[in-house]
Amino acid sequence: MTFFAWNTGRDRQSKAASVVLAALVGFGSAAVPALVAPPVAQAYTSRVNVFLVREQGESFDTLVQRSEIVARAAVQRSFDADVLMTDVIVTIIGDNQGVSVPILTVPVSRSEWQLRPDVTQWANYYEAARYLVGDQASEPL
């Protein structure tokens, strides 16, 4: 069975095209995507942990508000630092006298952040932190 018939009257371009076609048939479909597909862009996620020290006399609600402000800045700074970064996960950890408790985590994609740069929209709050930290302004963390 003959796949290709060589015509001696064909020009070089025609022969070259036949050779390429023969190579593609010989390699199967594995060669086609390599010749056609553009290189894949590398996307990645940044993970940022920020420790906030609870101020003396600061209530838990105030600590959460401060955490939101810091998280917003950390998300924006992460996206500004690298245009290839597609996702950011910022975790805010409350700290006092060696005791550390996660307050909130903000996992957000660049496209979500561009549509709505609001930490409260994307944040996951750790309600258990209220009990571990204490809700009274005078209680230490």
Encoding tokens for residue 24? 């593609």
C-alpha 82/C-alpha 42 separation (Å) is 12
| pTM listed for this prediction | 0.67
**Residue 141, pLDDT above cutoff 50:** no
Whether 138 is covered by a domain: the verdict is: no
> Do residue 127 and residue 66 come from a single domain?
yes
Strand ranges across the sheet with 44-53: 44-53, 85-96, 99-109, 124-125
The pLDDT tens digits of the residues spanning 53-96 come to 988 888 889 999 999 999 999 999 999 999 999 999 999 999 87
C-alpha 11/C-alpha 65 separation (Å) is 76
Count of the separate structural domains present in the chain: 2
> Do residue 62 and residue 78 come from a single domain?
yes
User: How many other CB atoms sit within 10 Å of the CB of residue 133?
Assistant: 23
Whether 80 is covered by a domain: the verdict is: yes
C-alpha 4/C-alpha 11 separation (Å) is 15
Domain of 82, in residue numbers: 44-133
Q: What share of the chain is helix, strand, coil (3-state, %, to 5)?
A: 45, 25, 30
